[in-house]
Structure 1
Amino acid sequence: MENTKKVITSIGKYYYPTKGGIEKVTKDIAEVLAKDGYVSKVISFDGKKHKSGIINNVDIIRFKELKIGPAPISIKFLKIFNNLCKDSDVLIFHYPNPIAEYALLKYKGNAKIIIFYHSDLIGYNGLITKIYNKMTDKVLNKADVIIGTSPNYVKSSKNLKKYEDKTKILPLCVNHGEFETDKLYDFKNFNFKNKILFVGRFVKYKGINYLIDSLKYLDKSYGLIIVGSGKLKNKIKEQIKENDLKERVLMLENLSNGELKSVYNSSDVFVLPSILKSEAYGIVSLEAMANKLPIITTELGTGTSFYNVDGFNGKVIEPKSSKAIAEAVKICIKNKNEYGINGYQKVRQEFSLDVFNRTILEILKEL
């Protein structure tokens, strides 16, 4: 597909300046399309917080949503979707987003359809999942191209198995230059020889409790830095207190980008101890790799064991095992320089923004 004045509309739950993994991907795609000469539009459902308008040559249409669970709902969107997209040559749907997928099934236009499949629907009861998966099958059948973020996820997803022939892999990325720094973070009195780092939201599927518990199996030269916030913050504090680990765990939040970079640069190993497939990728691990940190991730059948090659740039371990985390930490500290350099080179060669941009443009031109 030639890009001259072709209109490409991306549909996602939310869009910049709303923060999040899917929001970042939507923004990266929309902006590279605009730079390459396409007419790039975005439809999102964060109109209560942000206004419609143009950002970096991307035309953003925001709807005010009702919230039912994690899913945005907009009756107005459903009523005008077909008319809104009548001039679009390509529609990119960021899945999962139930209202957008329902609109796609009612879509009457001739645009090419791309489904960017970020993850399965996880965390709902069996009936809801069963109904949603039936709709998903119809949505995927209607797609011209499906994009998965790792071959691991494509193979492990029941929804994607029958559509492997039209699924292409587009690995998520980081702009590695944004994370390189020589600055060190001032931890004040937190002076441990071996610093373990976690960055992320405080939610159940991240498995932070197993990471904290791993300190029981490590001597007192190891300290843990936890960066983030979320609804489990008080539970995490209670666990630290109950296990008498207040001196060995440092909790940080609301860091600036510069401060976060210096925390990465001041740490020795990064751990993403996720326990559920809700962790479809984990871009924070790529950020750690960009800072030459060895990484530890869990085997979930997702992207966490795609960018992390066991024994090369880190360790891949079983989930829900504090002992496994502790053993992996020791190995990564021992091989810090080798794993760190390997990961740094890997993220530059395979998971950079340049690679991401080039791949999405190639997918579009093949439509």
Structure 2
Amino acid sequence: MPTDPTASARAYALAVDFGGTKVEAALVDTDGRLVEGSRHRRPTGRNATVPELEDSVGGVVRAAAASLPDGARIVGVGIGSAGPIDRARGLVSPLNVPHWRDYPMRDYVASVAAELGLDVPVVLEMDGVAITMAEHWVGAAQGVDNVMGMVISTGIGGGLIVGGRVITGPTGNAGHIGHVEVGATFGGKALRGEDTFGNPYALEAMASGPHTVAWARQHGFEGATGEELAAAYAAGDLVAREAIARTGEAVGRAIASATALLDLELVAIGGGFSHSTPDLFDHMRTVIEHHYFPFVRKVRIVPSALSSEGPLIGAAALIHRAHLLP
């Protein structure tokens, strides 16, 4: 095991981030820093079976725990999971992982922790809550107490801090902005996405990475991934540019609605597809700039300051900054 001469004074959270493509785990210190060499990743996915998913989750938890420096201690396990979730019962039903419906994620991770000799709290929250706590702690939302964090990736998630306190709601799904409805028109055309769980007007149906690519392919784009769409956008492909503009407008409308409801000051956005082009943020901001309420126009939309580490830092915040949770 690694040796760290100052580790005896350190308490680490074992952070777990579960999403529609992958699950990751790492050790995170009380300053929001990942322990070098402790980050591990395994696949999840739409076709993964329950045993395969358990193997992936258990595998990254065990590997991260094995990275604990000598003399240090793990004080809790924080899990940020794609939603929806059942906070009270510790269940998850990730929309893009259909074999897990009401799966007892908290109990399963607790059993792995017990196997490793860890008698510590295991806390489960929606991934959007975790990423928002990360941005508020060490990211783009430091010092701002009315914040929404968002992830635009395989799906679209979100979380809320209002008045300096995390808002989870009774089930843990407050902030699940990917399934608000934003259907209207874009450039004189109906703003409608793929049929996502029966609702083609949900934000995720129009603006997630895979759904944006699917729309572009319906209109002549020949690529298959978000990375290819981003490259086509940079090369000036007209369909790719319309796809990104359409996605940016949809996200901007959702943010405007959330701000009108909650009087937000800042929205911090991460996730793989959010990096497709800086212009994506410009399209969102244009929607906000034209809103009729000044208090909505005040909201700032910024990229995450935490890169790909944000979800893990957020999962650790469920332990290290538990005082913000209800």
Q: Same fold (TM over 0.5)?
A: no
Q: Which has the higher contact order (CA 8 A, sep 6+)?
A: 2
Which TM class, normalised by the smaller chain length?
Answer: 0.3 to 0.5
TM-score where L is the length of structure 1: 0.35
TM-score where L is the length of structure 2: 0.39
> Could you say which structure has the larger radius of gyration?
1
